[in-house]
Amino acid sequence: DAGVIQSPRHEVTEMGQEVTLRCKPISGHDYLFWYRQTMMRGLELLIYFNNNVPIDDSGMPEDRFSAKMPNASFSTLKIQPSEPRDSAVYFCASSLQYNEQFFGPGTRLTVL
């Protein structure tokens, strides 16, 4: 069975550019989570969806970040405009039960 799929795996962009990260959750999972991982702050929850509806976006750093889930098999995390401090690894995770989350391989974002 395919796990959580994320694309791209690596993204290098310049400050001010728009960045879109993509995620395909495991089929049948009704929860989808976006996390950010940095050395300084570890794993941080940005936002999560239940049945495609955003439930908690309190972890989204600021208005430059937005996330959508137009259907059960696809979600995007967008940063516009991007800044160097956004450089991190972004993970998508999905779950059937809220807490047993399965993570994707991550997108390593570098903003120059």
Partner 1 sequence: GQQLNQSPQSMFIQEGEDVSMNCTSSSIFNTWLWYKQEPGEGPVLLIALYKAGELTSNGRLTAQFGITRKDSFLNISASIPSDVGIYFCAGQHLYGGSQGNLIFGKGTKLSVKP
Contact flag: residue 12 with partner 1 (CB under 8 A): no
- Least distance CB 16 / partner 1 (angstroms): 28
Residues 11, 106, 109, 111: which binds partner 1 (CB under 8 A)?
A: 106
Q: Omega into 84 within 30° of 0, i.e. cis?
A: no
- Least distance CB 56 / partner 1 (angstroms): 7
Contact flag: residue 7 with partner 1 (CB under 8 A): no
What the block records as the tokens of 46 is 């940005």
Spell out the residues 6+ positions from residue 99 whose beta carbon is closer than 8 angstroms to its own. Answer: none
Contact flag: residue 103 with partner 1 (CB under 8 A): yes
- Whether the CB-CB separation of 90 and 79 falls below 8 Å is answered with no
- Least distance CB 22 / partner 1 (angstroms): 15
Residue 76 to residue 23: CA distance in whole angstroms: 6
